[in-house]
Amino acid sequence: MKKNVLNRIQTGVKGEDLAVNFLIQHKVKILDRNVRTAHGEIDIIGEKDGCTIFFEVKTRRTRSFGYPETAINSRKQEHMVNSAYAYLQEQNTLDHPWRIDVIAINLFSSYKPNIEWFQNAITG
């Protein structure tokens, strides 16, 4: 694999690990990670206050490509909604409360990552 692809993968894995730790600190029960559906991958699935939450994690090391949350275009949003429906259908929990949130992680500083949680970021 090329170096930049490996760096992207490493950045993504680090971001997801940081997001899981952040969510646990915020009392989210982690149900699953990297769930594949016919419509795409769900980074993290959690539960809080009786609501299933599907998390999309976006991580950036530099500002070259903008802030992480701006990387979620309409096509990605459609995939996320369809993936959430597929997961709920597979689990037979379509009537259960759910939402899609985004975790944006900036690793611009070598001191401490900046983590932002956008709740109800994408609606279906």
Per residue in 72-111, pLDDT (tens digit) is: 889 999 999 999 999 999 999 889 999 999 999 998 776 7
Instruction: Tell the residue number behind the tokens 């709920």, with chain if given.
Output: 88
pLDDT, one tens digit per residue, over 31-76 is 999 999 999 999 999 999 999 999 999 998 877 777 788 888 899 9
d(CA 43, CA 100): 11
d(CA 58, CA 56): 7
What is the reported pTM?
0.90
CB proximity list for 69: less than 8 A, separation 6 or greater? 58, 102, 104, 116, 118, 121
**Topology of the domain comprising 3-122:** Trna Endonuclease; Chain: A, domain 1 (3.40.1350)
